[in-house]
Amino acid sequence: MKWQNVKICALIFVIMITAGCLKTYQEIRIKSDLSGTMEFRVVYDMESITNFALMMQGMMGQKMPPEQKEMMQEEIKKQFSAKNDEKKKEIESQLPDGIKLIEFSTDDSKNDKITMKICMEFDHIRNLKKLENLEISEGDSMGASGKSTTKFLENFSVEEKDNTIIIKQSIGKPKGMNQAQGKGKKQLPPEVEKMMKGLGINFRIRIPYKSYKVAEHNAHKYDQKTQTLYWMYTGDTLMEMSQNNTEIKDIYLKLEKK
């Protein structure tokens, strides 16, 4: 493999880790006995990643030919689809008692998006606390290698007292928000603004409505028909919050037994 291709792979890896260029989705479904499932998805935007790479190379005085952008996108696909079985085994080896991996997959069939999906079963919702520092290796054999810590449930906690359960979780700030911290739109390069708009956070919790009711919450939406609470931040909202130095609120949900 040419050294130029190795440098491209390394650049892609750095951008994906430091810049963001992604949407995150998390759904927790709780059953009456407080067991349930958790699904976590990360959607990477290849167009934003490669545009950001072009901008970075331009800042370093290097010009990338148009065909190289397409090659970069192909390398991103290879990086994510490589060694899925190994990554699955790596996750399973770190799982504590009371949590089982149901699915680990990557999908690059939808236009310029790559989706990583992880689904798990838990015996009791309190066991999710043990997933805070679950690690997944990223990179490949072409010069971009490393191991980053993916915090699925940052500062997750479950407080049980009498007939109530309080669930808390830090949503965390997408890494790409740092690019716009305290800056107005006119101060942002177009590539960074587009990257920011591509960010998104979508968390939801479905409660066991037959045995519990919602006592308090700070969700953006509570669908009583499906008994699901939603915490949602679009790219535009995140960009505005970053420019105004506004912090993302932590998830708070209090359930009472019926």
**What tokens does 228 get?**
């699901």
Per-residue confidence band for 87, with pLDDT thresholds at 50, 70 and 90: confident
Q: Strand ranges (DSSP E) for 59-181?
A: 99-107, 113-122, 135-139, 145-149, 157-161, 164-169
Query: What single string gives the DSSP state of each residue in 11-78?
Result: HHHHHHHHT--EEEEEEEEE-TTS-EEEEEEEEEEHHHHHHHHHHHHHHTT----HHHHHHHHHHHHH
Q: pTM above the 0.85 mark?
A: no
Q: How far is CA 123 from CA 45, 66, 97, 127, 216, in A?
A: 34, 51, 9, 7, 24
| Most confidently predicted of 46-50, 112-116, 224-228 | 224-228
Domain that holds residue 123: 3-257
Question: What tens digit of pLDDT does each residue of 229-248 get?
Answer: 999 998 888 878 877 778 88
Helix (H) or strand (E) holding 201, with range, is strand 200-206
| Most confidently predicted of 52-61, 77-86, 149-158, 204-213 | 204-213
pLDDT value at residue 5: 41
Handedness of CA 227, 231, 237, 240 (dihedral sign): positive
pLDDT value at residue 222: 98
- Work out whether strand 135-139 and strand 145-149 pair parallel, antiparallel, or are unpaired: antiparallel
pLDDT value at residue 166: 97
Question: Is the separation of the CB atoms in 137 and 79 below 8 Å?
Answer: no
Residue 46: CB atoms within 10 A of its CB come to 23
Number of domains the chain is built from:
1
Question: What tens digit of pLDDT does each residue of 170-228 get?
Answer: 886 655 555 545 445 555 666 666 667 777 889 999 999 999 999 999 999 999 999 99
